Structure 1
Amino acid sequence: MNPRPHLSAKPAARRQGAGPSARRRMLLVIGVLGAASVGLVARAFDLQVVRKQFYQDQGDARFLREVDIPVSRGTIFDRNGEPLAVSTPMVSITAVPSEVLDNADRIPALAQALGINPDDLKSYLEQRSDRDFAYLRRQMSPDAAQAVIDLAVPGVNGQREYKRYYPSGEVTAHVLGFTNIDDHGQEGLELAFDSWLAGKKGAKRVIRDRMGHVVEDVEQVRAPQPGQNLTLSLDRRIQFLAYSELKKQLDDVDADSGEMVVLDVRTGEILAMVSLPTYNPNAVTGTNGSQRRNRAVTDVVEPGSTMKPFTMAAALSSGKFTPTTPQIDTGNGHFMYYGHDIHDDSANGVLTPTGVLTKSSNVGAAKIAIQLDTQFLYNSYRAFGFGDSTGSGFPGESSGLLKVGHTWRPLEKATIAYGYGMNLTPLQLANAYATLADDGVMHPPTFIKDGDNPGKQIVTPQIAHELVTMLETVTAPGGTATRAQIANYSVAGKTGTAHLAAVGGYAKNNYNSLFAGIVPATDPRLVGVIVINNPKKGYFGGDVSAPVFQRVMDGALRLLDVPPDNIGRWYVGGPMQAGGGLAGNAPPQSSQGDSSAQEVVEP
């Protein structure tokens, strides 16, 4: 009989403790979960408290950005409201290089839309892979840029910008200048008035998605301030006329370059300023500094005989001379002075001070200057602005050169009287003639319309009137500038022909040809100065530069509705009609071969 096992007996396996109890297993699980919870809480505390700002900045850097709000540059208008410089909206294509490279299969299509080589684009992106921003193409037309954006390449975006456009192109290039690709003025009035025209960009915070596209505007950080408009004194019609006529004349006489300035004598406002050769400000790439230089303001010339009226102004102001007295003996056209032959090319004999201007006698001008006190003569020249900036505000304006009077040697004093041994800009010369035209009042030349431009009395109104009347004889028959005459208008002016400076002295066969004139002479409104540099076909100012004055000012007077003051008098191109005020009706002779040749002399 088998004994019955005792109820309290345990199986052998259990007695030996082969595995953990359920209680111990439970405790282990709880411990692991507790440790994990503590770790998560610690990590959350670290992220949300200890390093909260760091991660917030990192997140913002990826999704919240501050971007510029572009502003349009102010428009430049001529005096009649015609636009000379405008800003047109464009779009620049930008990218996050690393994101584009992560989608390398899209690069060929992107390159085609941008109009560039795919390999070049990929290389460009690889070189900038560590950057968050790079331009792919600047200033595309909105339509072309939209075609790029429509490709939806990750990391590629469009950014609005503005591009400067100049409707008149090369006609106004030297006055206006141009802007760079970032819309900052680089030359001319664009540079001079950059802070006025440019305005100030605004700024805003935006949220971008992972593709880099703006999905939400968060806030405006800084309000944009568009550039202010600028109205110039220029008259686009007269500017175009001056440009066209000067360009034609440079071609006709085979000259190196030329400049023309037209001033309103009553205000000092610059109505036209042309410098040739020129350039297209809408396509500056490939041009050089010589093409972009505004020679009417930055370059200087020796004025030759156009300086004689200011020597005469000093003479009349001294009280020693009047328009008709005393008589000046120019002899046979040669005057030996300190071993130098000051000469005219023909014998003029005895001349009045008016005759010295009419015949453009170097001998007469030198003999007048010699009789004047040196410091008085120097001060008179300085009063007309020679040797000093006009104050126009144009970048790079030259002051010219007039040596201090007490350093003049006797020969220098004599040669300066007829325009050698000193130099000036075409704008300075125009401003000095405008002073004579406006009753002896000098207005600083200005490019701004209707600006506050008070004048300063330089010589008395009586002397100014006498000089203008004396200068009328220069354009009358027998004078050196008959080709400057304008039908039905009286013209006062002066020719000038000067040898070009060269190493060791003056070039024998190279000249500058000048003319400065005032119209209408009886009630002056406009002054025009023309300088033509190194013409190869003729060189006398009366033949080379005076015809440009005639054609430009003839048109300008009519454009401005200036009433004629000289109806019926003789003029170039037609005989004197009944009632004319000039003696004789013979047609004008070419100044080449007559007394205008007296202007040329080697000091």
Structure 2
Amino acid sequence: MNMRPRFPTQPTARRRQHGPSPRRRMIVVVAVLSLASLGLVARAFDLQVVRKEFYQSQGDARFLREVPIAVSRGTIFDRNGEPLAVSTPVMSIWANPSEVLESEDRLPQLAKAIGMDTGELKQYLMQRSEREFVYLRRQMRPDAAQAVLDLGIPGVNGQREYRRYYPSGEVTSHILGFTNIDDHGQEGLELAFDDWLAGKPGAKRVIRDRMGHIVEDVEQVRAPQPGRNLTLSIDRRIQFLAYNELKNTLEQSQADSGSMVIIDVTTGEVLAMVNLPTYNPNALRSSTPSQRRNRSMTDVVEPGSTIKPVVMAAALSSGKYTPNGPLVDTGNGHFYYMTHDIRDTHAYGMLSPTGVIQKSSNIGAAKIAMTLDTSLLYDTYRAFGLGSSTNSGFPGEASGYLKVGRDWRPLEKAIMAYGYGLNVTALQLANVYATIGDGGLMHEPSFVKGAAGDSKQIIAPEIARKLVTMLESTTQPGGTAAPYAWIANYAVAGKTGTAHKASGGSYLKNNYSAAFAGIVPASNPRMAAVVVIDDPKKGSYYGGLVSAPVFAKVMDGALRLLDVPPDNIGRWYVGGPLQGNNGLVGSKPPDAPVVEDAPVEGATP
């Protein structure tokens, strides 16, 4: 009998010894799940606590936006409350380029709605595809913009804005200036008072959907502050009068340009300022830099004989002269001084200082100036603001030019007495006459109603009154402005000026600047005005014939608009005062004689 020991085979023993254990499997599963849960908890803790702000900001960046709240710019009014510049609501269309390009088949529809070529629009968007915000069309009419939004093109949105509108158009353009597409002032008073008018846009947080549409307002971040209104010293009615008369004169005389400035004598407030050529600020793209230039403030001219009252102010202040004497010998109309021929249009012979003003004698003015101390004459010019800004606050205002007195040569001193060798702006010249009209009290010109600037007494009141009387002789028979500066029932004090234009170091023979400066009413001055016509080519070129009629017509209307009482009722000068109502009162005799001042000829001093 073969007896063999029984032993289990090795594989069977191993399977029994190392086989899977349900308990162990359970432990493994629980451990894995526990680790996974712990990881999830840790991740949740990281997201919700540790890096909460980061992920919150990332989410907000995709759906929460801070958008501006547009504010309207302040309205600009004239002194009577008539609007000169207002802000109107408009809508700008903007887009997210990448979203719009995803709907490329809608591009033709969008391009047509905003007035662009389809290819041009596609190229514009592709070049800016990395941006999230680009403008497609600025400042559309609200109804036209809404029609674009109603197309429902993904990524296309609207933003409310404001656009400036100027009801008076080109009539007040040089005073007001204009704003750019972002509604910031660029020129004129829009620029000077930009901080006052602009206001401060507000801001709010909103939630946008993936199409960019606002679905909820979250909070207001910053309250909007609308711009503040501004009331100017300008009287729109007088502005229109000045514009129409100046325009008519430029057309008739075929002049290159013209300016008129009117100032309230007692306050220094500018009542009107007109320049031609002009432009329409509502259609700015069609204008040129030359049309947009405010010539009354930025262009300078040699004043010619309109400067003679300043010389007379120095003469009267010196004590050497009175309005009636001593007499000045103007000879035969030619005075040769240092090889220079100083000329008058006529041989006036012996003239009083008043006669020098009335006849506008260049010889008389030069001879009087030569007897005065240079320092006195220079200080008087400076006191009247020549060679310095008027401090009106208007952007780009020119200072003019006045050579320092210690550097004057004798010939320069004589020539400056009748308006050559120095230059002024129309505003400066108007302020000179306003100062004379207000008893020698000079005000800083202002464009804001009730915002009078500094004032100072520069000549004695009695001297100023004498100057007004002397200037009144210019508009009386035999004066250079009679009868064209006459205003029915009002006494006018003024001065004509005709000057050759300078070019390239010499004076042009046939090109002139014609000016008239005046004060009304002469007995109790209320307004001063200056009219400058540049290079009239048709008809006369004299200030008394070209500029004085503009002054008379505009101021005639202005006096009545402001209800200024007449001071010259019952008389009209035709060879002397006429008493009573004889048919000439209130009408201008068409054949009244005119004697004009002569422009100087020759080389630049």
**TM-score of the superposed pair, with normalisation by structure 1:** 0.93
1:361 is the counterpart of 2:361: yes
Aligned to 2:510: 509
Task: Give the alignment of 1:142-291 within 5 angstroms.
Answer: 142-291=142-291
Q: CA RMSD in A?
A: 2.4
Aligned to 1:341: 341
Distance verdict in 2 for CA 1:599–1:566, change over 3 Å = farther
Distance verdict in 2 for CA 1:506–1:549, change over 3 Å = same
CA contact 2:268–2:452 (8 Å) conserved in 1: no
**Aligned partner of 1:569: which letter?**
R
CA contact 2:328–2:351 (8 Å) conserved in 1: yes
- CA deviations 1:451-475 (Å, max 9, x no partner) are 2345311111211111111111111
**Aligned partner of 1:495: which letter?**
T
For 1:13 and 1:178, locate their aligned partners in 2 and report how far apart those are by CA, in whole Å.
102
For 1:169 and 1:68, locate their aligned partners in 2 and report how far apart those are by CA, in whole Å.
30
For 1:396 and 1:384, locate their aligned partners in 2 and report how far apart those are by CA, in whole Å.
20
Task: Give the alignment of 1:167-566 within 5 angstroms.
Answer: 167-482=167-482, 483-537=484-538, 538-566=540-568
For 2:229 and 2:74, locate their aligned partners in 1 and report how far apart those are by CA, in whole Å.
4
Aligned to 1:3: none
For 2:589 and 2:240, locate their aligned partners in 1 and report how far apart those are by CA, in whole Å.
34
CA contact 2:498–2:598 (8 Å) conserved in 1: no
CA contact 1:480–1:542 (8 Å) conserved in 2: yes
Range that drifts further, 297-306 or 338-347 = 338-347
Distance verdict in 2 for CA 1:87–1:19, change over 3 Å = same
Give the SS at the match of 1:124.
helix
CA contact 2:477–2:573 (8 Å) conserved in 1: no
CA contact 1:478–1:588 (8 Å) conserved in 2: no
Shift of 1:36: 3.5
Distance verdict in 2 for CA 1:124–1:542, change over 3 Å = same
5+ residue gaps, structure 1: 1-8
For 2:593 and 2:195, locate their aligned partners in 1 and report how far apart those are by CA, in whole Å.
51
Shift of 1:579: 6.6
Give the SS at the match of 1:332.
coil
5+ residue gaps, structure 2: 1-7
For 1:536 and 1:586, locate their aligned partners in 2 and report how far apart those are by CA, in whole Å.
26
For 2:192 and 2:106, locate their aligned partners in 1 and report how far apart those are by CA, in whole Å.
45
Range that drifts further, 338-347 or 548-557 = 338-347
Shift of 1:553: 0.7
Give the SS at the match of 1:427.
helix
Give the SS at the match of 2:284.
coil
- CA deviations 1:317-348 (Å, max 9, x no partner) are 11100011101000001111122111112211
- CA deviations 1:132-161 (Å, max 9, x no partner) are 211111111111111122222222221111
Shift of 1:47: 2.5
Aligned to 2:572: 570
For 2:496 and 2:596, locate their aligned partners in 1 and report how far apart those are by CA, in whole Å.
8
- CA deviations 1:29-67 (Å, max 9, x no partner) are 545544433443343233233432221111011111111
For 1:468 and 1:315, locate their aligned partners in 2 and report how far apart those are by CA, in whole Å.
15
Count of paired positions: 588
CA contact 2:477–2:593 (8 Å) conserved in 1: no
Shift of 1:565: 1.1
Shift of 1:23: 5.6
CA contact 1:344–1:601 (8 Å) conserved in 2: no
For 2:257 and 2:589, locate their aligned partners in 1 and report how far apart those are by CA, in whole Å.
34
Shift of 1:206: 1.5
Range that drifts further, 116-125 or 76-85 = 116-125
Aligned to 2:98: 98
Aligned to 1:4: none
CA contact 2:496–2:597 (8 Å) conserved in 1: no
**Aligned partner of 2:562: which letter?**
L
Range that drifts further, 30-39 or 51-60 = 30-39
Instruction: State the percentage of identical aligned residues.
Output: 70
For 1:15 and 1:385, locate their aligned partners in 2 and report how far apart those are by CA, in whole Å.
120
Distance verdict in 2 for CA 1:144–1:571, change over 3 Å = farther
For 2:498 and 2:159, locate their aligned partners in 1 and report how far apart those are by CA, in whole Å.
56
**Aligned partner of 1:567: which letter?**
I
Give the SS at the match of 1:109.
helix
Distance verdict in 2 for CA 1:213–1:14, change over 3 Å = farther
Aligned to 2:5: none
CA contact 1:155–1:211 (8 Å) conserved in 2: yes
**TM-score of the superposed pair, with normalisation by structure 2:** 0.93
- CA deviations 1:230-276 (Å, max 9, x no partner) are 00000000001101110110110010001000111011110000111
- CA deviations 1:188-237 (Å, max 9, x no partner) are 00000000001111112222222212222222222211111000000000
For 1:579 and 1:133, locate their aligned partners in 2 and report how far apart those are by CA, in whole Å.
77
CA contact 2:301–2:425 (8 Å) conserved in 1: yes
**Aligned partner of 2:431: which letter?**
N
Range that drifts further, 148-157 or 406-415 = 148-157
Give the SS at the match of 1:182.
coil
**Aligned partner of 1:515: which letter?**
F
